Amino acid sequence: MPRTSTKTESPVRRLTSDYRLEDQVGFLLRRAYQRASSNLVDRIGSYDLTAPQYATLARLYERGALSQNLLGRLVAMEPANIRDVVLRLKKRRLVATRRDPTDKRLILIDLTAAGTALVEQLIPIEIACTATTLVPLKANERKQLYDLLGRLADG
Amino acid sequence: MPRTSTKTESPVRRLTSDYRLEDQVGFLLRRAYQRASSNLVDRIGSYDLTAPQYATLARLYERGALSQNLLGRLVAMEPANIRDVVLRLKKRRLVATRRDPTDKRLILIDLTAAGTALVEQLIPIEIACTATTLVPLKANERKQLYDLLGRLADG
DNA sequence: CCGATATCGTTATGATCATAACGATATCGA
DNA sequence: TCGATATCGTTATGATCATAACGATATCGG
């Protein structure tokens, strides 16, 4: 086995630098999200679902039929993005679409029976997954994290 | 102006549900990262740089020449991903590549003069951007957040 | 020395993401 | 009523992302 190789590293140290990438909150958030997302895919990947797809199904389960655009806002996806997710879910018959009779602009999305059954299977898995992700933190720390992240996300 | 439209919402309430998507840490992390990333692009977008591209340049600035693979690990990108980022940066002459003479597998990546100059311009902007993202939090809360996120990310 | 194993970079596939521009529909205000 | 404005969904473009499979190179153990 070749050594794990910090081999090519040269400790050049340019000019300034009390700067560290690790101190940038965006970088930390990206890595934490990678971890959480990876945990979820490990558990629900066998269902061939991604985290955004799961979020979409879960939201429909919570709220019932929604227009494609509103659904997108509720799962934090742009119109062009939620469109593709809905198309994939529709192709697998997990959601169904119909026109809103009173507003011809809208496409209403809803879970199918199969979609509903799948979400009900997945919800406990996702809850367990969240627990796994939070293992490094104590109970009071988790509550603190939720508070802080919520305030960051909402601006 | 059409109303902001919770129009199509139907409060169907399926089976169970003390379940809420907002309680899943992955969903919160994704939204917080969206916010941070958006803040960064607002500020450095005029340089035609994305957050991952900036992270890559910043890491090279901190560490000097690195193999493509190690560089990828240090910015939390898969080999296939860091490859594309490096290609784009190389096309813009912000980084240069050369073969490692002692290990023919490696491609060494380093900043060009132009790349170095650009990073030195961008670092203060990024620091300001992090400050903006953290505005909702008080100083002690920021410290707490860093601690919690770090432990989540490192598993 | 040499085969087993590990690492590096590449290729291919598929799913997110954000942005801008566009036509169709809906609503508002004068 | 009717034009200005807003929303909805679509299309196109480009950048992330993760995964699996692959050849080339490097290292280790016997």
How far apart (Å, rounded) are the C-alpha atoms in residues A65 and A84?
A: 18
* Beta bridge partner(s), residue A99: A107
Give me the half-sphere count of Cα atoms (radius 13 Å) on the Cβ side of residue B17: 18
At A17 the pLDDT is 60
The model's pLDDT over A88-141, given as tens digits with 9 standing for 90+, comes to 999 999 999 999 999 999 999 999 999 999 999 999 999 999 999 999 999 999
Q: What share of chain A is helix, strand, coil (3-state, %, to 5)?
A: 60, 10, 30
The model's pLDDT over A37-53, given as tens digits with 9 standing for 90+, comes to 999 999 999 999 999 99
At A18 the pLDDT is 79
Q: Flag whether pLDDT at A7 surpasses 80.
A: no
Average predicted confidence (pLDDT) for chain A: 91
How far apart (Å, rounded) are the C-alpha atoms in residues A68 and A89?
A: 12
Indicate yes or no: CB of B153 within 8 angstroms of CB of A32. yes
> How much is the average pLDDT of A67-75?
98
Does residue A103 sit in helix, strand or coil? Answer: coil
Please state whether strand C lies within 7 Å of residue A6 at its CB atom. no
CATH number, domain A32-41+48-153: 1.10.10.10
Does residue B47 sit in helix, strand or coil? Answer: helix
Judge: domain B34-40+48-154, CATH 1.10.10.10. Answer: yes
Q: Which residue of A has its CA nearest to B142?
A: A148
**B25-44 and A139-153 helices, crossing angle to 10°:** 40
Q: Flag whether pLDDT at A66 surpasses 80.
A: yes
Indicate yes or no: CB of A148 within 8 angstroms of CB of B148. yes
How far apart (Å, rounded) are the C-alpha atoms in residues B34 and B86?
A: 23
| Contacts (Cβ under 8 Å, ≥6 apart) of A135 | none
> How much is the average pLDDT of B98-126?
97
How far is the alpha carbon of A153 from chain B, nearest alpha carbon, in Å?
4
- End-to-end CA, chain A: 48
Considering only the beta carbons, identify the residue of A35, A103, A120 that sits closest to B153.
A35
